[in-house]
Amino acid sequence: MGPVIRDNRRIDPVTGQPRRGKHAASQPAGTSGASPNEGGAATAAGPAPTPPPPPTQPTAPADSAAAAQLRTQLAERTADLQRLQAEYANYRKRVDRDRAAVREHAVAGALSDLLPVLDAIGQAREHGELSGGFKSVADSLQAAVGKLGLVSYGQRGDAFDPKIHEALTHTYSADVAEDTCVEIFQPGYKVGERILRPARVAVAAPTTALDEGGDAAEWPSGDL
């Protein structure tokens, strides 16, 4: 039996790979515990990576439910905004209406106090006593109250309207076809639709009313 030569080198001179295993030192030269292909592939590649799981896709029913919920919330918010806008518009209208009413009431109160002055100016004008500086002041005053909306009404021949006229006397006449203002004792004044003072007038009714009715109708009377 010949001599046995054992290669105790830890690196295989043929493959260049370290020898592994319990008996690596006792293996003949040029051999290793694993085949070169198996060892090289295992060392180079290593363990295969685990692929990530595919992303979870939402199901169609869940997507539809979420969209329906969003539409419901959008409709609620839209309705809230529309309600707030309508409330604000109504508030603005109410404030503007109240402001106009307060202004009209204040103007009417101030102009009511000036009616006796305007009556005196009117009487002076009828008698030809309005001249000189007094005429300039009277014209300026009448222009100022006109800018505030004061309107004078009441002319001879107007149809009698108990809403805006105050009948101080009542007669019958064949010259009229309806109740007519035949004399204006004091003109009426109004601001817009507000009557500050009704026109004080003498009223004549057609004689046909007296012939048909027999008794004369009762009319309200007053003092100048």
Q: Are strands 194-197 and 199-206 parallel, antiparallel or unpaired?
A: unpaired
Euclidean distance between CA atoms 129 and 39, whole angstroms: 138
Q: What is the pLDDT of residue 6?
A: 73
CA atoms within 13 A on the CB side of 150: 23
Q: Rounded to an integer, what distance in angstroms lies between the CA atom of residue 174 and that of residue 120?
A: 34
Which pLDDT value is given to residue 28? Answer: 52
The per-residue pLDDT for 59 is: 58
Q: What confidence score (pLDDT) does residue 126 get?
A: 86
| Degrees, nearest 5: CA angle 45-46-50 | 105
Each residue's pLDDT, cut to its tens digit, for the chain (224 residues) gives: 567 677 777 777 777 777 776 545 455 544 544 444 444 444 444 556 676 666 665 556 677 888 888 999 999 999 999 999 999 999 999 999 999 889 888 999 999 999 999 999 989 988 888 888 889 999 999 999 999 999 999 999 999 999 999 999 999 988 899 999 999 999 999 998 899 999 999 999 998 866 665 554 455 544 44
Please give the C-alpha separations between residue 179 and each of 135, 154, 162, 176, in angstroms, as whole numbers.
36, 14, 10, 7
Q: What is the pLDDT of residue 44?
A: 47
Residue 127: what pLDDT?
87
